[in-house]
Amino acid sequence: MASPALQTFAQVGETLAIYRGPVLDAHIHLFDPQRPEGVPWPEKSDSIYRRTLPEDYYGQAAPLGIVGAIAVEASPWRQDNEWLLETVRQHTGMVGFVGNLVPGDEHFAADLDRLASEPLFLGFRYGNLWERDLAKDLHKPGFIEGLRLLAQSGRALDSANPTPSLIAALLKVSDAVPDLRIVADHLPNAQVLPAEQEAYWRNLETLGTRPTVFMKLSEVPQRIKGAISLDVSYYQDYLDRLWSLFGEDRILFGSDWPNSDHLVSLAKTVGLTGAYMATKAPAAQEKVFYLNSRQAYRWSPRQRQ
């Protein structure tokens, strides 16, 4: 039987092949404001300022057919790589985590070497967050060499919060380190001004030709004129354009929970994505919801799935 979320929101035709297999959520955030040291994000005034640990996530995720998840860092604090590792280690539904490292800094090589000994470490994220700028930082001493070390470790680079500048920078990274697997997060919610559209799509098209570059089907729900749309037809053309660039083999699902709760519930996030994917062949649905994340991150199951 299809999960409730997919059944509810895949109302776009009578002959849809609704996905019934396992789901791997490749993008969730874990944090605990109740820790003695607190958290750097989210702020206390934020509606998602609460404990979000694996058991909190799976209370909502398990009924939706989600059998595994990847935690993506939500802190610039160096010590939180260890906190995230230990938190993920304690729950077998977590297949790994994407940490926070800064190529070229004094701790990078030692931290990467230590984390690379952990099978649960899948890579790190770098992009438009924590006051960083990939377009500028990739020119700093040791930065590209650090990415080469990441590639040699067999791990992936996640980007964050896409803009035209970030996409152009990812293209340069791919040129410099062609064997590095890159996962472009949140492309459905990319912030692109009209004057930037042509260059943005040109660079994205080039990235789409690189077999080591993947994209996350994440941050799909949008607020339209003050209202949140769950009508898949609103998103169809834009998502189809992304699909034409990356194809069924290099797109993977991520919910962005609990950040997604700013707009809709986890069930509605999964359901809207499922409604779009229901227009694709069953084999393509399995790739996006499960198999492609293994290609991108090389994670291993920790429980029967």
SS (H, E, C) 121-187: EEEEECCCCCCCCHHHHCCCCCHHHHHHHHHHCCCEEECCCCCHHHHHHHHHHHHHCCCCEEEECCH
pLDDT band for 305, please (50, 70, 90 cuts): low
On whether the CB atoms of residues 127 and 185 are closer than 8 A, the answer is yes
* Residue ranges making up the domain that contains 185: 4-296
On the question of pLDDT at 2 being above 90, the answer is no
pLDDT on residue 224: 80
Q: 302 lies in a domain? A: no
Examine residue 303 and state whether it is found in any structural domain, yes or no: no
In a domain, 14, yes or no: yes
Q: Is 9's pLDDT higher than 50?
A: no
- Which CATH number belongs to the domain containing residue 198 in this structure? 3.20.20.140
Residue at 304 is within a domain: no
pLDDT digits (tens, 9 = 90+) for 227-268: 898 999 999 999 999 999 999 999 999 999 999 999 999 999
pTM over 0.85: yes
pLDDT tens profile 171-204: 999 999 999 999 999 999 998 999 999 999 999 9
The answer to the question of residue 305 being in a domain is no
- Give per-residue pLDDT as tens, 267-298: 999 999 999 999 999 999 999 999 999 999 99
Mean pLDDT score of the chain: 93
User: pLDDT at residue 5 above 60?
Assistant: no
Q: What is the Cα Rg of the chain in Å?
A: 18
**Distance between CA 295 and CA 121 in Å, rounded?**
15
Least confident of 12-26, 128-142, 161-175: 12-26
Per-residue model confidence (pLDDT) at position 304: 64
Does residue 72 lie within any of the structural domains? Answer: yes
1 confidence band (pLDDT: 50, 70, 90): very low
Residue 230 · residue 9 · CB < 8 Å? yes
Q: Exposed, middle or buried: residue 265 (CB in 10 Å: 0-12, 13-18, 19+)?
A: middle
* CA–CA dist 28, 13 (Å, integer): 30
Q: Does the pLDDT value for residue 75 go beyond 80?
A: yes
Tally of structural domains, the chain: 1
Return the half-sphere exposure (C-beta side, CA atoms, 13 A cut-off) of residue 258: 20
Does 277 fall in a domain?
yes
User: Does a structural domain hold residue 275?
Assistant: yes
Distance CA 79, CA 217 (A): 29
Q: Which helix (H) or strand (E) segment is 217 a member of?
A: strand 213-217
Give the tens place of pLDDT for each residue, 29-47.
Answer: 999 999 999 999 999 999 9
Q: How far apart are CA 133 and CA 114, in angstroms?
A: 25
